[in-house]
Amino acid sequence: MDFGPVRLALPIIGAPMPDVCGAEMCRALAAVGAAGLLHRFQSIAAQVEGALSVDLVTNGAELMPPELGAAIGVTGDFHERFSALYEAGVRVFCLDTANGAHVQVDAAITWCRNQVKDIFVVAGNVASAEAFRWLEDHGADAVRVGIAGGSVCETRTETGVFVPTPYAVWECAQVKRHALVIADSGVRTPADFCKLLALGADAVMLGSALAGTREAPGRVILVDGSKFKIMRGAASFSVQQEFGGQQPEYVEGAETMVPYKGSVLDVTSRYLAGLRSSMSYMNARTLEEYRANVEFVFHHYRAGVRGG
Mean pLDDT score, 244-268? 74
* Per-residue CA distances from 192 to 133, 196, 197 (Å): 24, 6, 9
Least confident interval from 56-60, 91-95, 239-243: 56-60
Q: What is the mean pLDDT of residues 265-285?
A: 97
Distances in whole angstroms, Cα of residue 193 to Cα of each of 43, 80, 152, 275, 286: 32, 35, 18, 8, 15
Angle at CA of residue 215, ends 212 and 216, nearest 5°: 50
State the pLDDT at residue 213: 94
Residue 153 appears among annotated catalytic residues: yes
Contact between residue 212 and residue 220 where contact means Cβ atoms under 8 Å apart: no
Winning range, highest mean pLDDT, from 143-152, 219-228, 277-286: 277-286
Find, among 87, 7, 74, 72, the residue nearest to 42 by Cα. 72
pLDDT value of position 242: 62
DSSP label at residue 111: H
Q: Yes or no: say if 13 and 20 are a contact pair by the CB < 8 Å rule.
A: no
Which pLDDT value is given to residue 220? 79
Q: Return the number of other C-beta atoms located less than 10 Å from residue 224's C-beta.
A: 5
Confidence at 57, pLDDT banded by 50, 70, 90: very low
CB-CB contact of 233 with 252 (8 Å): yes
pLDDT greater than 60 at residue 235: no
Edge-to-edge strand list for the sheet holding 226-232: 221-223, 226-232, 255-259
Kindly report, residue by residue over 179-194, the tens digit of the pLDDT: 999 999 889 999 999 9
Strands 56-58 and 61-63: antiparallel
Domain annotation for the chain: domains and CATH numbers: 2-283 (3.20.20.70)
Mean of all residue pLDDT scores within the chain: 86
Which residues, including other chains, have CB under 8 Å from residue 307's CB and lie 6 or more apart? Answer: none
pLDDT at 303 over 60: no
Main-chain dihedrals φ then ψ at residue 202, nearest 5 degrees: -80, -30
The amino acid occupying position 78 is F
Of 21, 94, 153, 194, the catalytic one is: 153
What proportion of the chain, given as a percentage, has pLDDT over 90? Answer: 64
Predicted confidence at residue 297, as pLDDT, reads: 82
Distance separating alpha carbons of residues 229 and 40, to the nearest angstrom:
20
Q: Give the pairing of strands 69-72 and 61-63.
A: unpaired
Distance CA 173, CA 204 (A): 13
Cβ atoms 36, 30 nearer than 8 A:
yes
Q: DSSP letters of 164-194?
A: -HHHHHHHHHHH-SSSEEEEES---SHHHHH
pLDDT digits (tens, 9 = 90+) for 75-89: 999 999 999 999 999
229 burial level (CB within 10 Å; 0-12, 13-18, 19+): buried
Sort strands 221-223 and 226-232 into parallel, antiparallel or unpaired.
antiparallel
pLDDT reading at 211 higher than 50? yes
User: In the chain, how many H helices and how many E strands?
Assistant: 12, 15
Cβ neighbours, 10 Å, residue 55: 14
Residue 151's pLDDT band, with cuts at 50, 70 and 90, is low
Inform me whether the pLDDT recorded for 251 exceeds 80: no
Q: Among 92, 76, 13, which residue's Cα sits nearest to residue 41? A: 76
